[in-house]
Chains A and B, each alone.
Chain A
């Protein structure tokens, strides 16, 4: 079974500084996908970034980048130039292997609460 581990329950970062949120995963599959989602207090899960297991380059989306270290099975999220609006829960997730039924369900970690300090 897939497993996602986020070891930081909470993190603080000064506004305009960079922060790294840790994520390790466990899978025996060769083909998988890794995601980061942001969940503000409103509840909606907002997609941030995706990394495929065969992608050779680390994914980047604006201020977000994913530090993908396949051998170590880690997929850390780096947020550069933190903003007050970045304060939220952040979840790392892995896409389950294709089930044959067309589902690409996600397995989530427990999340990290990021607080940006002015």
Chain B
């Protein structure tokens, strides 16, 4: 198993465009999290899936953000009508129900909105 994989690693987009990021968790992990990390800050929770169900969303997740995990495996995070304030690192993490300890993170997608 190669761990949590995120694609793309970097994305530069013009303000107003839509972008979509993908996360492939560790295969047996049923929990999946999205976090956002801005410069000089720690990651902040965005949303959580257990299998295919999106069970929690942070107030940081505005209406322009949507996340899916259609088959309980990979997940996508879409940002519509991007704004400069969306520039950040978007991190995905996964864990298993039986593990109430660490979550495993991917390398993140760095988004720059110009």
Which A residues fall within an 8 A CB radius of B?
A: 4, 33, 35, 37, 42-47, 50, 91, 93, 96, 99, 101-111
Contact = CB atoms under 8 A, between A and B. Distances in A.
Interface residues of B, number: 29
Given A4-B42, A43-B91, A104-B100, 11 more contacts: A33-B100, A35-B102, A43-B108, A43-B110, A44-B107, A102-B97, A103-B33, A103-B48, A105-B48, A107-B45, A111-B41
A99 B102 contact: no
26 contacts: A35-B102, A43-B89, A43-B91, A43-B108, A43-B110, A44-B105, A44-B106, A45-B91, A45-B93, A47-B105, A91-B43, A101-B50, A101-B56, A102-B31, A102-B48, A102-B55, A103-B31, A103-B56, A104-B103, A105-B45, A105-B48, A105-B56, A107-B45, A108-B43, A109-B42, A111-B42
